[in-house]
Chain A
Amino acid sequence: GAVVSQHPSWVICKSGTSVKIECRSLDFQATTMFWYRQFPKQSLMLMATSNEGSKATYEQGVEKDKFLINHASLTLSTLTVTSAHPEDSSFYICSASFNRASTDTQYFGPGTRLTVL
């Protein structure tokens, strides 16, 4: 149980285009979903937290207009990288949790590797 999927698993795009990444909780309803970014040999960095039906909360330094997050249902959150540039190339990972308690386990997706040419 508690499976989270991401689509696509990898994407290559041209500079200036927008890319949408989907995160789905397959067998549970996720009150909260999270988006992380991971650079090579570095740790996961939280980008934003989204609760179903409300606006995402972005971490300091993350551009809201650059990384659009939509959490329209309890099983789907999307991250859109707008006007992507090479520096946006990274590994993007989502996670989901049943509730909003700080002790709740986050269940992670497999990640999406974005390469911007």
Chain B
Amino acid sequence: AQSVSQHNHHVILSEAASLELGCNYSYGGTVNLFWYVQYPGQHLQLLLKYFSGDPLVKGIKGFEAEFIKSKFSFNLRKPSVQWSDTAEYFCAVNMNTGFQKLVFGTGTRLLVSP
């Protein structure tokens, strides 16, 4: 079965530190890739998505992600985090079979200390 792995369950950083959250998926076909964020007390919001073209995708709030097909990865990065980035981050994959089914990772809780 297709699966999505987020190896970092909890990450603690100081403000201005760089961030990289890992996401790997298991599926050999074409995929569409998403990162969602859930700020405390809020609903899931889309950070960025990739479905074709340049494998380096830029999203909102200074986030970016790189799709590396050979590694089945879609890692999320931000050069300098802020306290307001404290949230839970979910990677999700759609297997591009014509349906919109998203398979989510277990999420990574990021705490940024001021």
Contact = CB atoms under 8 A, between A and B. Distances in A.
Interface in A54-102: 59, 93, 95, 97, 100-102
A43 B44 contact: no
Contact of B42 (A45, A97, A104, A110): A110
Interface string B39-71: 000111110010100000000000000000000
Contacts of B95: 102
B58 to A, nearest CB: 16
Given A43-B90, A43-B106, A44-B90, A100 B43 contact: no
Contacts, number: 59
A95 B43 CA distance: 10
A95 B102 CA distance: 11
Given A93-B44, A109-B43, A110-B43, A104 B100 contact: yes
A100 B100 contact: yes
B86 to A, nearest CB: 18
Interface in A1-54: 4, 32, 34, 41-46, 49
Contacts of B36: 108
Interface residues of B, number: 26
Contacts of A93: 43-44
Contacts of B101: 46, 49, 59
Nearest to B38: A108
25 contacts: A32-B100, A34-B100, A41-B106, A42-B106, A43-B104, A43-B105, A43-B107, A44-B90, A93-B44, A95-B44, A101-B100, A102-B51, A102-B94, A102-B95, A102-B96, A102-B100, A103-B94, A103-B96, A105-B34, A105-B49, A106-B102, A108-B45, A109-B43, A110-B42, A110-B43
Interface of A: 4, 32, 34, 41-46, 49, 59, 93, 95, 97, 100-111
